A and B are shown apart, each in its own frame.
Chain A
């Protein structure tokens, strides 16, 4: 699905007005693709045990790895920087080549993977393709504190956003997120986030999840979310951009 969307993007060449405020038209873009760093960097897969992982987390990881043996489950790898075809395409089509931000952006890294071992988000996601659901094992480290001793609600929201995203097929953006917190999560403990795709309405993906303790006895929170493939953003922007010259941005009402 994503490939055809990307192909659609190539022919539309929409650029949403970002820093300068005015959306650009296709004629402003270079026809050739801007080259990003082409070094072959060996990307570390962060969704693997490291010394900071607690016993609980390692145990659960092993249990799920066993489930992967017959192919019913798969472990999703996780990288700090995205250099997939999709993200390069996105960068090319949506960023202004003239602004010279390449240097700063090259420092950019995926938010949830920007911490040293054990300090931030330690997580791994296992996907069950048949049942269209995922299980995310998450250990929140000492840099994710909110109320002293507890995991920050926003850190939990971030992981819920990630977990819901893992149920989708490709590059998506979040439209909505609604979270009900039932009990606070102690910092440095392990929780299990069970997520699933509830329904697909056109391109809109409706997802839900619950966050539980390892023994499943405590329900920490429940959430629902709506996500959209990134390509739809491009298509909508292309149309709006054409008609809304001079406006700072596009208010996407879903």
Chain B
């Protein structure tokens, strides 16, 4: 169950149009800032849900490459502290009992709204992926098998769809590593095209955390690391979620 000692908080001031992302910075007591340890975030965020499908599990569309690497990492979750990050249809399912800072919850989130990278239901047609996180090193690995609905250049993955999955992996890593919530900068350099149906491996690292911002990097490559598909970097703004007192 959710830990009770979680810090409530942050009233997000409504800022005007300041340059950069500073207008989104909440006013709060710096001493209490982001006290949630990676451990507590993992335990809260990575719970298996009793209802709601967990998409971070093998299905019939997963090719042998994807399966074997998945099992390798599954072993590591037992032996060396890796965590398999559950993946739900909506991020709302991850943050049960909590809500976004006031300024961001302008739109009521409807139940049929879906996480972008889980938008294509049909197995094997869109994003097949699973993220494993290593809390002690603040890094993750995402195994990605793109389906035919992610096409850009004929036969290959749409650059935007890869960018979206990198952003998503950044997002989960950033949150678990220190409540990084919103992307403020995203940079991607494409090196090689990924063929649809093949396995790509995303290696994400938190490079540093400074001034309420987390800096992450990602290298997307083939399993044998012989082909680098893309390199990316992202900056995330750290933000507390408020406890939703309207719920039990």
Contact = CB atoms under 8 A, between A and B. Distances in A.
Given A101-B197, A145-B113, A154-B166, A179 B187 contact: yes
Contacts of B108: 149
A44 interface: no
Interface residues of B, number: 68
B18 to A, nearest CB: 9
Contact of B188 (A90, A148, A176, A250): A176
A128 interface: no
A192 B171 CA distance: 25
Given A107-B125, A114-B149, A158-B160, A146 B113 contact: no
Contacts of B92: 148
A148 B190 contact: no
B240 to A, nearest CB: 13
Given A149-B108, A249-B227, A184 B182 contact: yes
Interface in B98-126: 100, 104-110, 112-117, 119-120, 125-126
Contacts of B119: 115, 119-120, 143-144
B116 A154 contact: yes
Interface in A86-132: 87, 90-91, 94-95, 101, 104-105, 107-112, 114-115, 119-120
Contact of A108 (B113, B154, B224): B154
B92 to A, nearest CB: 5
Contacts of B17: 218-219
A16 B195 CA distance: 11
B128 interface: no
- Which of B125, B171, B227 lies at the interface centre, i.e. has the most chain A CB atoms within 10 A of its CB? B227
Interface stretch (A26-34, A167-175, A198-206): A167-175
A213 to B, nearest CB: 11
A15 B125 CA distance: 26
B69 interface: no
Interface in A195-254: 218-219, 230, 247-253
Contacts of A157: 160, 163-164, 167, 186, 188
A60 interface: no
Contacts of A180: 184-185
B196 A152 contact: no
A233 to B, nearest CB: 8
Contacts of B106: 149, 186
Interface in B174-217: 181-193, 195-198
Contacts, number: 211
B191 A149 contact: no
B21 interface: yes
A141 to B, nearest CB: 9
B165 interface: yes
B159 A154 contact: no
A230 B153 contact: yes
B126 to A, nearest CB: 8
Contacts of B193: 16, 173
Interface string A50-69: 00000000000000000000
Contacts of B43: none
Interface string B76-110: 00000000000000111001000010001111111
A161 B29 CA distance: 39
Given A104-B148, A111-B151, A181-B183, A152 B160 contact: no
A147 to B, nearest CB: 6
B188 to A, nearest CB: 5
12 contacts: A91-B155, A111-B160, A114-B149, A119-B119, A147-B181, A148-B113, A153-B183, A154-B164, A157-B163, A173-B153, A177-B190, A218-B17
Given A142-B113, A150-B104, 4 more contacts: A16-B193, A19-B195, A110-B151, A182-B20
> Which 7 A-B pairs give the minimum distances between C-beta atoms?
A154-B164, A158-B160, A248-B226, A249-B227, A152-B116, A143-B119, A154-B167
